[in-house]
Amino acid sequence: MTVSEKVLPAPAPFVLPEVKPFWDATAEGKLLLPKCTECSTVIWFPRPFCPSCASTSVEWIQASGRGTVYSFTVNRRGVADMSAYRGAGEYVLAYVELEEGPRIMTNIVDCDPNTVKIGQKVELVFHNTGEGSALARFKPVSA
C-alpha cells in the first residue's frame, strides 16, 4: 500500500480497544479486516463480532487493497458542522467494494472527481492523521 499526498483533511479517529489492531495496521500501510472463523464472513466495519452469525470468534486478515467503485457522489460544498472538512472543496465520497467482499465508505483521491465511474478499479492509499493512524482512501488504478 502507498501513502498518498494528502489533499483532503485526515482527522484522527477515536480508537476503541477492540479495533486497535485495525488502526495500528493503518499506520503501517496495511488494511486489516476481521474475518469470522465460524461462517467466513469478512467484516466491515471493524468490530469484535460477526454481524452475520453473531460469533465472537474473529481473526484479523490483511486485505489486498484492491476494489471497484460501487457507488459515489461528488461533494462540491464544504460540510458546515465538521470543521476539518469546511474548506475541503470538491471531493469524492464513495462506496468501494473490496476484492474480499465488504463495501466500505471512503474517498476516491488523486484524480479529477469528474472522471470517477461506477465499476472503476481502485487501489488503496493511506492518508496519515499525524496521530498514529491513517485513513484508508482509494485512487484509480493506472491503466
Q: d(Cα 38, Cα 83) in Å, to the nearest integer? A: 42
Q: Which residues, 6+ apart, have CB-to-CB distance to 59 below 8 Å?
A: 34, 35, 37
Model confidence band, residue 41 (pLDDT cutoffs 50, 70, 90): very high
Domain spans of the chain? Answer: 14-140
pTM: 0.87
Model confidence band, residue 2 (pLDDT cutoffs 50, 70, 90): very low
SS3 116: coil
- Mean per-residue pLDDT, 102-124: 96
CA distances 116 to 81, 91, 109, Å, are: 26, 11, 10
Sign of the alpha-carbon dihedral angle for 13, 51, 105, 138: positive
Model confidence band, residue 6 (pLDDT cutoffs 50, 70, 90): very low
Burial of 66 (0-12, 13-18, 19+ CB in 10 A): middle
Query: Rounded mean pLDDT of the chain?
Result: 89
pLDDT in tens, 67-89: 999 999 998 766 555 566 666 77
Q: d(Cα 16, Cα 27) in Å, to the nearest integer? A: 16
Instruction: Tell me if 103 sits within 8 A of 44, measured CB to CB.
Output: yes
Q: What is the pLDDT of residue 85?
A: 67
